[in-house]
Amino acid sequence: MGTFESAIRIKSLRKSFDGGRDFVLNGLNLDIPKGMITVLIGYSGTGKSVLLKHILGLLKPTSGVVEVLGKDLWSMSDEELVKFRCKLGVLFQHAALFDDMTVLENVCFPLREHRRDLSPATIVDTAVKKLQMSGMEEKHFAKLPGELSGGMRKRVGLARALALDPEIILYDEPTTGLDPILTEMVDNLILETHRHQKGSTSVIVSHDLFAAFRIGEHIAMLDKGKVLLSGTVDDFLKSDVDLVKRFVDKGFYKK
Ligand SMILES: Nc1ncnc2c1ncn2[C@@H]1O[C@H](COP(=O)(O)OP(=O)(O)O)[C@@H](O)[C@H]1O
Ligand SMILES: [Mg+2]
């Protein structure tokens, strides 16, 4: 990869749940470059979502360091950490919208929570802009999530993730379970969003190698709680590591 400025640095990260001896993450080291799209790949159950939750400061390491934008997450006070998290936007697999709030209310929510300095009118204006950026039509703004298609829910989830103009945007399996057309739509939306949010860093968890190669500038493959390989698409194509080769072959046979 050459040298790059890191947005996220993870050092010797280990995680076991409930004080157990099974480490889901077991000495994981990873540098995620600033301003680029990084895709985290790996078979199901290898700890990708657990890693993402560490980056978000939602899970605390058993040991090791998680540094985001130059700050060690767990050297901050709870209050500082809550504030710091505003620099991160996340789109979870099922969009996790509030089902009893309208589309517009869903996107206003983080602004009302964290931007008390903004007037109610500015909050609505900002939310409308984010929804438009995510490709939502105004006629849907007053609807409840239950009235929307899967693709539209993704768009609303993305608009909400972007509400606070995050420096880092994380996506956990954004296209899992979607049909090929919706998958391409969401992949393109991720690319457009990345280009639009100048200087932002995007991190996408996926088990779709095909998408990883299409949109990822930097790819890291997880296995057994560690990073097996971290590099460019080229590094992956040239890799001699058996498991990487198998994953790459599988990714290409798929389509
Ligand atoms: N809160 C939790 N408590 C106990 N085990 C967990 C928890 N979250 C994840 N795990 C375990 O960690 C492993 C990795 O999970 P995950 O990160 O979700 O995998 P994936 O790579 O598919 O996203 C799994 O074995 C899962 O059961
Ligand atoms: Mg997962």
Q: Give me the CATH number covering residue 3.
A: 3.40.50.300
Q: Based on the domain organization, do 171 and 58 belong to the same domain?
A: yes
Residue 194: CB within 6 Å of ligand 1?
Answer: no
Percentage of the chain with pLDDT > 90? 74
Q: How far is the CA of 225 from the centre of ligand 2 (A)?
A: 13
- Kindly give the distance from the C-alpha atom of residue 49 to the centroid of ligand 1, in angstroms, as a whole number: 7
* pLDDT higher at 100 or 253: 100
**Ligand 1 pocket check for 20: Cβ under 6 Å:** no
Q: Residue 96 pLDDT more than 80?
A: yes
3 state SS of 41 = strand
In this prediction, residue 252 carries a pLDDT of 61
Q: Give the mean pLDDT of the chain.
A: 92
Euclidean distance between CA atoms 237 and 115, whole angstroms: 45
Residue in 17, 22, 23, 24 to alter for ligand 1 test, most ligand atoms within 8 A of Cβ: 24
For residue 24, give the ligand nearest its CA.
Answer: 1
Question: What's the pLDDT tens digit per position in 148-194?
Answer: 988 899 899 999 999 999 999 999 998 888 888 888 888 998 999 99
Of 168, 234, 229, 179, whose CA–CA distance to 204 is shortest? Answer: 168
The number of the ligand 1 atom at minimal distance from the alpha carbon of 222 is 21
Domain with 179 in it: 1-69+167-255
Could you tell me where the beta strands, DSSP code E, fall in the chain? 6-15, 25-33, 37-41, 63-68, 71-72, 88-91, 168-172, 201-205, 218-223, 226-231
Residue that terminates a domain, selected from 166, 194, 209: 166
CA pair distance 119, 121, nearest whole angstrom: 5
How much is the pTM?
0.92
Q: Identify whether residues 180 and 121 lie together within a single domain.
A: no
Same domain, 228 and 245: yes
48: pLDDT strictly greater than 80:
yes
Same domain, 112 and 155: yes
Same domain, residue pair 57 and 174: yes
- Pick the most confident of 7-11, 90-94, 215-219: 7-11
CA of 189 to the centre of ligand 2 (A): 20
Q: Considering the domain boundaries, does residue 86 fall inside one?
A: no
Residue 94, pLDDT above cutoff 80: no
pLDDT at 255: 45
Q: What pLDDT sits at residue 210?
A: 81
Number of domains into which the chain is organized:
2
Q: Which residues are close to ligand 2, an ion, with C-beta < 5 A?
A: 48-49
16 and 131 assigned to the same domain: no
pLDDT of residue 22: 92
- Comparing 20-24, 96-100, 195-199, 246-250, which segment has the lowest mean pLDDT? 246-250
